[in-house]
Structure 1
């Protein structure tokens, strides 16, 4: 494998030979093999290990293993310890997403501060297949099916052409030791279920699965390149920049064979999620708009105007129509689902009686003088008094938004629902509103 790896670097990643490299190492098979391969090729590599403190003594044992490996290979090593559970809770993230944010933020900080040219990760062909299947099951466009990129900015994944089986055979043959993460055995996560239950069956059905998959990925990437070229041509003809806005010509877009596809390609980098609403703007009246977490797309006569939003200084009310399913808001995404009963409860979820609502609803920042009827209480209360009773800080108060119906508060978003709109035994239509 060493010879094949060396040829791969020489053909596709030759710049690594003359670069300072930071290798993300967990202590597992994949990253240990990558560390050994880099050591054998005399690459200028330092190790970076994250202790997420999620598995008690096992996490500490992983850290100690990496420290010993660094000593054995005579490599510089950096260790960072994280309170992952607290971070996940504060940021409203899953443990997996919190760990991902923490490690990549730290890797990039290390690379910038210590002048590393590239960050190496040990993703391999099986990881690529798992990611493909995850995206496929969740629903995605062509980009989601083109696999993990070998290079993305300063992130490089030199093991992508190799299967996990190849890595394991090489490691055993070289007498390497590595750590096994006990959480990888659990199938409660989709990736692990695919790894342990689904992919082995697919490989049994077709022993050439990984090779065929890599061929498919290459073909899809070629198709994506053709799409990107086409979009560049359309962009030059249909868009122009004026006064910090991007203007898209509505009439020209509507003449295309598939306006929806082109709108997606033109706007995919601006964090929009409500694509049906984006397409509907082509035929909407002037003044209608769609928000992403970072941008506003406004219909203005013959153009769609795209502009960046500074949510700190520009917090304009947002109108929400009755048929809305999902809308980007300054603090995330607001979703609306009709449900049969109240199930999970959390601060970021509110259940209301749909028949008591008058559309369009309005989402806006709270204002002095706002009052509501706190759920479970009789009588009304000023929001300012509610904040005082709940001991809100000044910053917390500044971040409060309210959802209202015809001037009445429905929900102090993420904080307290209004009693007037609560679900009762007489309710026939329940609307679940959730902040994601």
Structure 2
């Protein structure tokens, strides 16, 4: 038997949807999503099925699509399907295939939801998915918000299977003789999540046989702790900030009195997408002169006398600014490509098309943009600043080309590299450098 009452209770407890609402189910054909279909059908909920064919696994992808189509037809359920050129999308956006597939499917789900008037999109994440997410977040670095795992409901996305573990789903599929298809990529350790699933969690289960139950309780506690922290941050925000003409101003003297300082400032600035590294740099610059700026993907933080001013980047600025994160292999700007890789060697080349940078000095995300008025840097080999405009004149760069030279900018606003011409002396590799970031300009 299937746990219909437990399923209904979980939906009601978390206010996922009402029986009258129309739900779009994301169905891959695997055990999790097929079980979700069966539960929705037996509970007589109003739903349809959506399937994405990412064209990544040749015959397997077509097999999966055919299976889900047959499942929908056998249950007399409306069926939506789409085909993606996932690799082309990943290349065009300079992201991983996994990230491309994620972006494509959620964009399409939302498009179908709006066009066909569905109330919610349901995905078949379960308890182990939540555990994997938590462990991945801890491995990569996270605040308290990254410790609550996967939430049952986020805007128009719902996850009605989070009350079940992977083992429970496996047993339900087997005992009820439910057909499904197996994705061979689930067994590949090429992906970080699979490494957690296949190598880490089995080891943890040897320590704690009730791993899923323990993590479920942990996640509840983390979520409650996050709620408490959010209340404290909201109070602190009112005490030390003000808004004026769309900008937000934080009192620097009050920032200095925060305890714990970094945690609270990070939470205050999180909504503006400033990274942990940039918050460190901001704290170290509170006594610097006015005008010192730091960037996130969407905002600029500027030391403005006695205040830290947060202002949104204009649309044209975000268009002109290309952001490079530590995991990006490259970024493309107006046909110019800057690649990034790392090495533990202190070896450097005398090559203007490459920059060898001390990784510890980088504040991500980096910015790749073209020149602006007032740009200055410290050319490699010099100890004094030089206006970029004067440097380009000295290098006899033709006027039409001056606005086409990519500049690599640190998260604190400093120029790291005038691509193809000269690196900044402050970021050069030294004998004490532990790890080197190598940037290369590729035409």
Question: Shorter-normalised TM-score: what interval?
Answer: 0.7 to 0.9
For 2:142, the equivalent position in structure 1 comes to 140
Match runs of 1:184-195 below 5 Å: 184-195=186-197
Give, in angstroms, the shift of residue 143 of structure 1.
1.1
- Give unmatched runs, 5+ long, in structure 2: 359-378, 410-414
Pair 1:360–1:26, CA change in 2 (3 A): farther
Instruction: Report if aligned partners of 2:127, 2:163 keep a CA contact under 8 Å in 1.
Output: yes
Q: Structure 2-normalised TM-score?
A: 0.78
Deviations 1:363-399 (A, max 9, x none): 99xx9x95898xxxxxx7648479xxxxxxxxxx87x
> Are residue 340 (structure 1) and residue 345 (structure 2) matched?
yes
Match runs of 1:147-296 below 5 Å: 147-273=149-275, 274-296=278-300
> Are residue 297 (structure 1) and residue 321 (structure 2) matched?
no
For 1:20, the equivalent position in structure 2 comes to 22
Give, in angstroms, the shift of residue 280 of structure 1.
2.2
Which of 302, 307, 312 is the aligned partner of 1:308?
A: 312
For 2:380, the equivalent position in structure 1 comes to 356
Instruction: Report if aligned partners of 1:361, 1:403 keep a CA contact under 8 Å in 2.
Output: no
* Aligned equivalents of 2:293, 2:332: Cα separation in 1: 15
Deviations 1:128-185 (A, max 9, x none): 1111111111121111111111111111011112101111211222221111111111
Pair 1:240–1:434, CA change in 2 (3 A): farther
For 2:369, the equivalent position in structure 1 comes to none
Deviations 1:191-210 (A, max 9, x none): 11111122112112211111
For 1:88, the equivalent position in structure 2 comes to 90
* Aligned equivalents of 2:384, 2:47: Cα separation in 1: 58
Counting matched residue pairs gives 394
Give, in angstroms, the shift of residue 432 of structure 1.
2.6
Deviations 1:205-241 (A, max 9, x none): 2111110111111111111111011011111111111
SS in 1 for 2:44: coil
* Aligned equivalents of 2:6, 2:94: Cα separation in 1: 43
Pair 1:62–1:317, CA change in 2 (3 A): closer
The structure whose RCO (Cα within 8 Å, separation 6+) is larger is 2
Pair 1:180–1:314, CA change in 2 (3 A): closer
* Aligned equivalents of 1:172, 1:352: Cα separation in 2: 56
For 1:393, the equivalent position in structure 2 comes to none
For 1:322, the equivalent position in structure 2 comes to none
RMSD, aligned CA: 3.9
Instruction: Report if aligned partners of 1:122, 1:157 keep a CA contact under 8 Å in 2.
Output: yes
Instruction: Report if aligned partners of 1:21, 1:118 keep a CA contact under 8 Å in 2.
Output: yes
Instruction: Report if aligned partners of 1:350, 1:432 keep a CA contact under 8 Å in 2.
Output: no
Pair 1:356–1:27, CA change in 2 (3 A): same
* Aligned equivalents of 1:363, 1:100: Cα separation in 2: 43
Pair 1:135–1:266, CA change in 2 (3 A): same
* Aligned equivalents of 1:190, 1:382: Cα separation in 2: 47
Instruction: Report if aligned partners of 1:317, 1:362 keep a CA contact under 8 Å in 2.
Output: no
Q: Structure 1-normalised TM-score?
A: 0.80
* Aligned equivalents of 1:121, 1:362: Cα separation in 2: 55
> Are residue 4 (structure 1) and residue 6 (structure 2) matched?
yes
* Aligned equivalents of 2:63, 2:114: Cα separation in 1: 29
Deviations 1:79-100 (A, max 9, x none): 0100000110110000000111
For 2:376, the equivalent position in structure 1 comes to none
SS in 2 for 1:79: strand
Deviations 1:44-88 (A, max 9, x none): 111111100001111011111110011112111110100000110
Instruction: Report if aligned partners of 1:342, 1:351 keep a CA contact under 8 Å in 2.
Output: no
* Aligned equivalents of 2:17, 2:271: Cα separation in 1: 28
For 2:370, the equivalent position in structure 1 comes to none
Q: Which 10-residue stretch deviates more, 197-206 or 111-120?
A: 197-206
Pair 1:60–1:271, CA change in 2 (3 A): same
Q: Which 10-residue stretch deviates more, 103-112 or 274-283?
A: 274-283
